[in-house]
Amino acid sequence: MSFVFDFVRNLFLKMLQLVWFGKRRISNSLCIYVKTNTGNTLAVDLDPKWDIKNVKEIVAPRMGTSPEDIKIIFAGKELHNSTIIEECDLGQQSILHAIKTPHQRLNRSKDTSTIEESSELSDLNDSGGKPMNETLTDLPLDDSDLQENSLKEDHRENRAHFFVYCSAPCRAVTTGKLRVRCATCKSGAVTVDRDPQCWPDVLQPRKITVHCENDLCSAPATISDDTETQVLYAHFYFKCANHASLGEQDEAVPLYLVKPNLRKIPCLACTDVRDTVLVFPCEAGHVTCLDCFKDYCAVRLRERQFQFDDVKGYYTLPCPAGCPDSLIPEVHHFHLLTSQQYEQYQRFSTEEYVLRAGGLLCPRPDCGMGIIPESPDDGTSDEACRRIQCIGGCGYVFCRRCLQGFHVGECELQPYEFFNGMLKSGGYSVDPERAKDAKWDEATMVTIKISTKPCPKCRTPTERDGGCMHMVCTRAGCGYHWCWVCQTQWTRECMGNHWFG
């Protein structure tokens, strides 16, 4: 009799589903992918006003089961049957996980009335919880901000809680969504044992355990108190909220120093109270608005006052108030700058790394290739140690000491030196960038540098207007024979390899 009862009930539910969904038109359709634990991926169109129970009724026939035998998992939570889809913050092409579970039959004892049975069935159909983004509505994910969970209701709407850098396709700082998957099998069909309470819970591994619904997931066994158990941990990650989901591998970098200004703290520079601020990782937690932070970065970048952390290997800035141990650890925060400024930041960072590693930069105009020469072997001549060639760049051969074209003999003092920073004379400040354009003979000097090479012996600029690579210095008293390619003394090897280029 039980089999007949289930058959009639399922048939009735399917007929009711066809009639109900056939009459209801979907407005503002939401295209969602549903992954099942049987290995299939279903594409369904949903109305954001529907609830999770409607989703189960759509997916159940395609999985060959009844809606009561399915649970829907999203963002680390089993969703409540009465949860409205638009409350889950689903975007286009988001992924839900439908898990087929054995139906728990009701125990119909003689002491159970019809009313009690109906109540138990309602409880069973309404199983699940709220999505994680809803339970974390007012969680700023900061150890010092846990008391902010008791904020008033009027602060809860229209407020971004997570900020990320989306490298593709947005290439910008945007709002983000917190997601979770199994750290072992990378499946998103997991339910977390507890919600994250602070940023270490999210950023550091092995903080929160999960229950994984992937049948193929296997974690190494852990033995405690003579009991062998499998412990699975959560791997949290962020997605951009501004574009349609590109799959479970679509990730964005969390900018965890950028936060909503729940405490209404004024900016340390302009004293304005802004809705979104950056909190420096110093002990005092100094706050700056994003506009002042951009100005602070731009000025320090122009003056090349960023600091290089030798331990962690990044080029960054400290708190402008001079606090110790306040370097920004996540350099993606500098994407708040313009694209041109960030490219300049990357170039300066690379140059600083090369110089600190014992390398040097190609002095050729419009090149600047970073070069890390190999350590000279014992017995290598001084002349060979000074000879550096820009491999992978312009090919320029220059002297390691004076950064001029390679030469034999002692280096000559240059008529002027390059400088960084602001030149000051009697209170008159000069911007180096503007000073480059204010040189009377600058164009002539640049042309000479590009089109000529210095004699390796006397440093006389020499222009080659044709013929072979064998050069003879015409300066009185010099007459040095040298190779245009190697910029060293002319040899039979040069004659055999590149006499005519």
Catalytic residues: 468
User: In Å, what is the CA distance from 432 to each residue of 316, 450, 496?
Assistant: 22, 21, 46
Sign, CA torsion 92/93/99/103? positive
Q: Which residues contact 390 (CB under 8 A, 6 or more apart)?
A: 362, 364, 367, 369, 371, 396, 397, 398
CA–CA separation, 320 and 177 (whole Å): 30
47-72 per-residue burial string, b: 16 or more CB within 10 A, e: under 16: beebbbbbbbbbbbeebebbbbbbbb
Q: Count the neighbouring beta carbons within 10 Å of the beta carbon of residue 228.
A: 8
What are the tokens at 282?
A: 């110093």
Q: Which residues contact 153 (CB under 8 A, 6 or more apart)?
A: none
What are the tokens at 56?
A: 């189960």
Show the DSSP H helices in 45-181 as ranges.
52-63, 114-125, 132-135
Angle, helices 2-23/52-63, rounded to nearest 10 degrees: 120
CB 280 within 8 A of CB 286: yes
Identify the bridge partners of residue 173 per DSSP, sorted by sequence position: 165
Residue written as token pair 């302009």? 270
What radius of gyration, in Å, describes the C-alpha atoms of the chain? Answer: 34
SS3 category, 255: coil
CA–CA separation, 215 and 230 (whole Å): 13
What are the tokens at 162?
A: 């997570």
CB 61 within 8 A of CB 51: no
Residue 14, phi then psi, degrees to nearest 5? -65, -40
